[in-house]
Chain A
Amino acid sequence: MLRQSSGMTRRQFIATSALTSGAAALGAFVAPALGQQPKLVYWAYQFLRSSDEARVNFAQEWAAKNKVEMQITLVPWKEFMTKITAAIQAQATPDIVESGGVELRALGQLLDVTDVYEKLEKEHGGWLGAAPLYMREPDGHVHHILYGLAGALVIARKDLLAQAGFQKPPETWEEVLVQAKKAQQLPRVYGIGQPVSNQTDSNIWEVVMRSYGARMADEQGKKVVLGDYKREVWTFLDYFMEVWNAGVLPPGVTTWDNTMNNSTYQSGKAVFVWNAITISLWLQENNPDLLPKTAHYAFPAGPKGRVWDVNYASRSILKYTKHPDICKQFLLDSMDTKKMEKELSVSQWAPVLKSYLPFEVWNRTDYMQGLIELATKGNPEGYPDVFNDAWREQNTHTTISRLLQRLVVDKWDRDKAFAETLEVLNKIYGKYT
C-alpha cells in the first residue's frame, strides 16, 4: 500500500546515483598545486636502450641540479607524430621534444633557437657536415638543434665475401650485385637483405635511383620533373630487375617492416644489409661472434655518382612553452662535450660539432669510424632533390619502392607503373605549391 511513495524515493535514488556517476566521471579536480619549481615536460626519443638511458639520466641529473621539475616521457619514434598531433590539437604540448623537428618547424610549432645555434657554433668550433644545412633556414633562423647525424651504412659479412674472393668493399651498385650473388649461400644465407615494401627502409631504392641520375623535382623543389628522366629511371629499373631476378633478395621483402633487415642480418641470414649501426650495437650485446665478421662500408656509387643520404636527430622546443629560457639552457647543456662523449659512445649518431671529433670512441670500433665517414661524405636527405614537405611526404609514401612493387608484385608494365608514379608525385607536390 505504501509502495507508491517508496517508488518515488527509489526513482530519486536511481536518478541521484545516475547523476552522481556522471558527475564523478567529469569530476572537478584540484588544479595541480602551484609549486615553487618550474615544471618542464620532456619527450625523449626512444630508439636504442643504451642511448635512451643516457639521455634520460642526463635529464634527471640536470633537473635536480637546476631545481626544475621535469616529467620525462619516452616516446617510441614510430608513435611520436600521433602523440604530438593530439597534444597540439588539445593545446597540451610538451616543452622539449626529440623528434619531428623538421615537420613541426614546417607547421610553425617551434620556438626560435637561433641564439642557441650560434652559441654552440662559437663554443664548439663549428658544425660538421650536413648539420648546418638541416638547421639554417633561408632567412637565417634556426628552430631545432641537431645532436646527431645518422644514416645507413653498408653492413657486410666480410668473412663470406672473403670466402668468395672479395677483399675490397663494393664501389658501385653493380659490384654489390656481383659480390652478393657469389657470396650468398642459399638457402640459408641470402645476398641482399633489403626490403622492397611500404616501410621507410625501402627508400634506399630511391637513393639508388638518384645515384643513377634521376630526380623527383626541379631545383626549387616545386615542379615534378621525374618524367624528364625516363632514360635514367629505365636504367635503374634494369638494375633492379637484375637484382630481383638474381634471387639475392630473401622471400618476403615486399612486406618487410623496418626491423626485418636487422633480424635477418643478426641471425646470419644475409650478406649485405643497409642499416644504421643499431645492428652493430645489438651484435655487441647479443651476438659478439658475428661482430668481428662484420664490415662497415660507405654507400656505393651509381653511374652518376655517389648519393648517401644522411638524416638527423634533433631537439626542439614547442613555442607554447612557459619557460623558454630554461628550455634553451637545457638544449645548450645537452650539447656539453663531456656529456656527449659518454652518450655518443653508446648511441648510433655521428657527431655534429667539431669539438666532438677528437673523442677516442670514434677509433674504438669499425662501425664508429664508419659514422665519421657518414658525417663527412654523406649528403643531406633527398639530394639532389630539395628536402621539403613535398619530398618528405612522397618519401614516407615510399613512392619509388611502390613503383618497384607494381613491377614485381602486380606485374604491371613499366609505362603503366611509371605513369602512376608520376601521377602520385604530381598530386603530392601539387599540394605544397
Chain B
Amino acid sequence: MRDTLRVKVVTYGLLAVFVIMVAVPLFWMVTTAIKTNKELYEDFSYFPQRPTLENFVRVIVREKLLTNIRNSFSVAMITTLITVIVSSLAAYSIVRYRYPGREWIGRIILFKYLLPSAMLFVPLYVIVTALGLGNTQQGLILTYLTFTIPFCTWMLMGYFRGMPVELEEQAMVDGCTKIGAMLRVLLPLSAPGLVASAIFSFTLAWNEFLLALVITMDQSTMTVPIKLSMMVVGDQYIWGQLMAGAVLASIPVGILYFIGQRFVVQGLAAGAVKS
C-alpha cells in the first residue's frame, strides 16, 4: 500500500513524539545510573560530567543482582508457559465447545480482578504456606497464575471468537479431531494473540511486588523488584545503585520483547491461510 507523503510525515512525526516521550524518563534513569554519588546529590546536571560504572559494579558484585534477575526470569518464564497453555485450552473450551455454564464461567473469570491485591495476598500466602511452598519459586508461580490466567483466557476468548469457525471445520472434514484443529489451524492463526498473552504474562510476573515480598525470604528466591526496594535503605534512596539495578533488570526483558516482536510477524506469515 503506497502511503502519501502526508501520511508518511504524520506517521514519522507522531513516532518521533512518542519516542521522545518514552525516552526522556529512560534517559534520566540511565544517566542517574552512571553518575557518581557526588554528582547526584550536589549539583544538578543534565548530563553526567564524569560518567562511571561504579554503580553497576556495586550492584552486581555487592548486591548480587544477577541472581535476582535469574530468579525473576525463571519465575516469569514458567508462569508464562503454564499460563499460555492453560489459557488457550480454557479459552478454546469456552468458545468452541458447548456445555452448561460455559458462558457464566467466561463472565466470572473476570471477577477475580475486582478485589485488590491488598486484600487477596494474605489468603494467597496462607494457601501457599499450607502447601509447603513458602519461600519457593513454585509457590510464587502458583500465585502469579491466579492473575495471569484469567486475563489471558479472556483475551484469547476474544481472539478465538474472531476467528472464522469454517477453517477449523474444514480441517475436521479433512480428518482432524477437534483438538487437532485447534493445534493445527486456530493456534497458528492466533499467533499475535498468543504472543501478546505471553508478553503480558511475563511482564505481570516480572514486575509483581507484593506477593514476592511476602513469599520470598532470601537471596535464593528473591526477585528483582524486592531486591531493588531494598536499595531504599531506611530513609535514604541509593539512587545510583537503584537506577543501575533498574537498567540491568530491563535489559533482558527488552531483548525478549524485541525477539517476541519478530515472532509475531513470522507466526502471521506461517498461518496466512485466509479465504
Contact = CB atoms under 8 A, between A and B. Distances in A.
A–B interface present (Cβ within 8 A): yes
Interface of A: 3, 6-7, 10-11, 14, 18, 21, 25-27, 29, 31, 41, 46-49, 52, 71-74, 76-79, 82-83, 85-87, 89-92, 201, 258-259, 262-263, 266-268, 275-276, 278, 282, 286-287
A89 B126 CA distance: 6
A89 B234 contact: no
Q: Which of B126, B130, B145 has the most CB of A within 10 A?
A: B126
Contacts of B37: 286
A28 to B, nearest CB: 8
B128 to A, nearest CB: 8
7 contacts: A7-B178, A21-B86, A29-B136, A76-B232, A89-B122, A259-B237, A278-B235
A275 B145 CA distance: 43
A48 B214 contact: no
A36 B41 CA distance: 51
Nearest to B42: A267
Given A49-B233, A90-B129, A82 B85 contact: no
A25 B139 CA distance: 8
Interface residues of B, number: 44
A85 B235 CA distance: 23
Given A46-B230, A90-B125, A267 B177 contact: no
A46 B41 contact: no
Contacts of B134: 90, 92
Nearest to B222: A73
B177 A287 contact: no
Given A90-B128, A91-B126, A276-B235, 19 more contacts: A7-B178, A29-B136, A78-B232, A83-B214, A86-B122, A86-B126, A89-B122, A89-B126, A90-B122, A90-B129, A90-B130, A90-B134, A91-B129, A259-B237, A263-B41, A267-B41, A275-B235, A278-B235, A278-B236
Interface string B193-226: 0000000000000000010011001100000000
B208 to A, nearest CB: 14
Interface in B96-151: 121-123, 125-126, 128-134, 136, 138, 141-142, 145
Contact of B41 (A31, A77, A201, A287): A287
B175 interface: yes
Q: Which of A49, A90, A201, A278 has the most CB of B within 10 A?
A: A90
Contacts of B38: 286-287
Given A3-B177, A267-B41, A21 B85 contact: yes
Contacts, number: 113
A73 B121 contact: no
B177 A73 contact: no
A91 B122 CA distance: 11
Contact of B234 (A21, A91, A278, A287): A278
Contacts of B164: none
B145 to A, nearest CB: 7
Contacts of A46: 230, 233-234
A262 B237 CA distance: 10
Interface of B: 37-38, 41-42, 82, 85-86, 89, 121-123, 125-126, 128-134, 136, 138, 141-142, 145, 175-180, 210, 213-214, 217-218, 229-230, 232-237
Contacts of B237: 259, 263
Contacts of B142: 25-26
Contacts of A91: 126, 129
B177 A286 contact: no
Contacts of B217: 41, 71, 73
B122 A259 contact: no
A6 B230 contact: no
A35 B172 CA distance: 58
Contacts of B86: 18, 21
Contact of B235 (A6, A49, A258): A258
B236 A259 contact: yes
Given A25-B138, A267-B42, A74 B236 contact: no
